[in-house]
Amino acid sequence: MYKPEYCPNIFLNHDITMEEVKRAVDKAKLNKTSRIEGFSNEALKSPKLLEVLFHLFKNCFEHNVIPSVWLKSIIKPPKTDPRVLLNYWH
């Protein structure tokens, strides 16, 4: 019996594919860099790095774990009114 809040979804309950990873990376904005990892979005499009990302994400889904660095965030000061909390982003 399924829990009421659980609804099986055949589109979400399948193994991640290399094509999904490639599509996600292709959507990343150019000339941007992750502050923590230091990789540019252009570098992520490298075929070798795409393969590494694919295996990393596949492992995350299979074992239900994520790298601890993904739990960190950098809060940037707003370019507009600093008194408005919704102007902050990470």
pLDDT tens per residue, range 11-49: 667 889 999 999 988 887 776 655 556 677 788 888 998
For residue 2, pLDDT over 60 is answered with no
Residue 34 confidence (pLDDT): 59
The mean predicted confidence, pLDDT, of the chain is 77
pLDDT at position 1 is 43
The dihedral built from the CA positions of residue 58, 63, 67 and 71, taken in this order, carries a sign that is positive
Whether residue 3 lies inside any domain: the answer is no
4 inside domain = no
Q: Considering only CA atoms, which of 40, 13, 15, 14 is closest in space to residue 25? A: 40
Domain extent at residue 83: 18-87
The tens digit of pLDDT for each residue in 48-90 reads 989 999 999 999 888 888 888 878 777 666 677 777 777 665 5
Neighbouring residues of 75: CB distance < 8 A, sequence distance ≥ 6: 88, 89, 90
> How many domains is the chain built from?
1
> Do the domain assignments include residue 25?
yes
